[in-house]
Amino acid sequence: MEQRDRMRAADSDRAAVADRLRRALDEGRLDLGEYDNRLQRTYAAKTYGDLDGLLADLPAPAPEERSRLAPTGTGGVAVPGGSTGPTPSSPGTVVRDWLRETWGPYFSTVAVVVGIWAVICVMAGDINYFWPGWVAGPWGVVLLVVTVSGLANGAPQRRAARRAARERARAERRERRRTERPGDGEAA
């Protein structure tokens, strides 16, 4: 086991760990910050030991045939007994994620330009004209209009539905590829 821990990991190994971390995030086992931290460490990992440490506190995923909840392919979740429940994402999470995606670049950019302005002021020894307002003001007004109109006509829900459809299509392609591969011991 110790010898395996020192062996170099392949890109496919890192991708498998990243996929497991994404599932743990979807299951609610990791919060977004912890997921981001572990994902960065996943792609920086050199050995199997580095990768194994990222999954050590996560339970192994249940096989799909033994899982109590299984995807239906229609956007809902199949619940034991045959009924279909709503998707796992709550409306509050969908809106929060949409707002973070919409406003995140704005706040990052404004922080950078205000930082540049502050450095210039310190270097000049005087408070200069607040030019970052020309970046923050008009862009903020446009984003405010986009946010209000997007919330009014359901943009967060449409974005979440598109992402869910893409994820279902990816999962179906992965499953198709997995079932099309010849099994161990069979002639290829």
* pLDDT score at 78: 41
To the nearest whole number, what is the mean pLDDT of the chain?
80
Residue 158's pLDDT is 87
The tally of CA atoms less than 13 A away on the side-chain side of residue 170 is: 7
Nearest to 170 by CA among 78, 71, 25: 71
Residue 152 burial (10 A CB sphere; 0-12, 13-18, 19+) = exposed
User: What residue has token string 């893409």?
Assistant: 166
Confidence of residue 21 (pLDDT cuts 50, 70, 90): confident
pLDDT digits (tens, 9 = 90+) for 158-181: 888 888 889 888 988 888 888 887
- Long-range Cβ contacts of 50-57 (<8 Å, 24+ apart): 50/9, 51/9, 51/13, 51/14, 51/17, 52/5, 54/17, 54/21, 55/17, 55/20, 55/21
In the prediction, which pLDDT does 73 show?
42
Residues 111-159 pLDDT 10s: 999 999 999 999 999 998 999 999 999 999 999 999 999 888 888 888 8
Query: Which pair of structure tokens corresponds to residue 2?
Result: 């110790």
**pLDDT for residue 91 is more than 80:** no
Residues 92-106 have pLDDT tens digits of: 788 888 899 999 999
Contact by Cβ (8 Å): 76, 88: no
What are 84's strand-pairing partners? 78
Q: How do the domains of the chain map onto residue ranges? A: 1-61, 89-188
Identify the band that residue 89 occupies on the pLDDT scale cut at 50, 70 and 90. Answer: low
